[in-house]
Amino acid sequence: MDRRTALRSLAGLVAMMGSALTATSRVDVFARQNLLAWSFIPFDSAHRGPIERAEMLHRLGITKLAYDGRPSDFLNFSQDLAALRTHNITLQAVWLNTGLTPKTDPHVSLVFDTLKKNNVATQLWWPVSTPKEFDSLPEETQFEQATRAMNYLAERARSVNCSLGLYGNGSWGGDPEHQLSLVKRVKRHDVGIVYNFEHAYDHLDRFSSVYPRLVPHLMATNLSGIRKGNPELLAIGQGDMEFSMLKTVRDSGFHGPIGIISTDRKGDAETSLKMNLEGLKKLLQQMGDTEALRTY
């Protein structure tokens, strides 16, 4: 056996061992170490900077962050990345708010250039933003335009060792069936879906059948309180639907990560994130999820 063949065999053995270890040591989907903080940076009345944000997450025991800054926040993006590294917080994803012509969007270039400069590999969450006139276009034209933009973003993401997530943000691009069709069209292993409870109101009655279909492509699930007939943004535990939805997530085979958001858009982000953590903990107690509760 030559050296190259031996190395390939060793690599295969290591991969198999890693897969077996993952299968036997996989944590509960709602375990604290599987949680990420999301959707709080622009809504923090304390106006924390990069270091203060990282310190806050450290206090809360959250080790993953999905960065949801607006264009002005990205002027300090490199400082945020440095602060996260210092506090051992993983950059799980970055909000990439752009439309169907990302090639001409300077914000897109800024995000990718900063990630490349800092040698950071992560997920890019794209809300598939569409203009008003998009809704009146023929369906095939809609898919062609969305697919073209998605392929461009996916290629740019791949060039910096990142992946692309179609972020469910309501409207056309947030429809689960549209997202599944888009993923099928591009046929890429580095493109997936990000699901959000707060944008589930259009398909609440069929959530238990929709969500499991997304799981093979799912990159993250972000939680919030859900009250049927009232699309107000609620904290986890303040609605009447999220308990059954959490059970669907648990039983679906999805293993995370799970997003905890700041549902108080005008208050202190730390207080709001803490309230949602406590709400999730209470629902886990009602579910009898002792494995997850051990981590809180």
Tokens of 120: 């950071």
Task: Name the strand (E) or helix (H) holding 179.
Answer: helix 176-186
Domain boundaries, the chain: 28-293
Say what the pTM is: 0.89
Average pLDDT in the 124-144 region? 95
Which residues have CB under 8 Å from 45's CB, separation 6+? Answer: 266, 267, 268, 269
Average pLDDT in the 167-172 region? 87
Average pLDDT in the 92-108 region? 96
Please choose, from the candidates 90, 89, 158, 163, the residue with its C-alpha nearest in 3D space to the C-alpha of residue 126: 163
Residue 71's CB: how many other CB atoms inside 10 A? 12
Percent of the chain, pLDDT > 70? 91
- Taking the C-alpha atoms of residue 104 and residue 111, their distance in angstroms, rounded to an integer, is 13
CA 31 to the chain's CA centroid: 16
- pLDDT score at 230: 85
Checking if the pLDDT of 4 tops 80, the result is no
Q: Is the peptide bond before 127 cis (omega within 30 degrees of 0)?
A: no
pLDDT digits (tens, 9 = 90+) for 47-80: 999 999 999 999 999 999 999 988 888 989 999 9
Mean pLDDT over each residue of the chain, to the nearest integer: 91
- Taking the C-alpha atoms of residue 215 and residue 226, their distance in angstroms, rounded to an integer, is 20
What is the architecture of the domain spanning 28-293? Alpha-Beta Barrel (3.20)
Provide the residue type at 41 as one letter: I
pLDDT band, residue 1 (cuts 50/70/90): low
Q: Identify the bridge partners of residue 192 per DSSP, sorted by sequence position.
A: 165
Q: Are 30 and 250 in contact (CB under 8 A)?
A: yes
Which residues have CB under 8 Å from 3's CB, separation 6+? Answer: none
Tokens of 276: 């949602």
pLDDT digits (tens, 9 = 90+) for 259-288: 999 999 999 999 999 999 999 999 999 999
- pLDDT score at 106: 95
Task: Name the strand (E) or helix (H) holding 153.
Answer: helix 139-159
Q: Are 92 and 66 in contact (CB under 8 A)?
A: yes
Average pLDDT in the 138-163 region? 97
pLDDT digits (tens, 9 = 90+) for 10-52: 444 434 334 333 343 567 999 999 999 999 999 999 999 999 9
- pLDDT score at 15: 43
Q: Which residues of the chain form beta strands (DSSP E)?
A: 35-38, 64-67, 90-95, 123-126, 163-167, 191-196, 218-223, 225-227, 230-234, 258-261
- Minimum mean pLDDT range among 15-24, 58-67, 96-105, 122-131: 15-24
Checking if the pLDDT of 178 tops 50, the result is yes
Average pLDDT in the 195-213 region? 94
Percent of the chain, pLDDT > 90? 82
Going from the C-alpha of 65 to that of each of 33, 61, 150, 220, the distances in angstroms are 12, 11, 23, 12
Better pLDDT: 65 or 230 = 65
Checking if the pLDDT of 183 tops 50, the result is yes
Task: Name the strand (E) or helix (H) holding 162.
Answer: none
Average pLDDT in the 211-224 region? 97
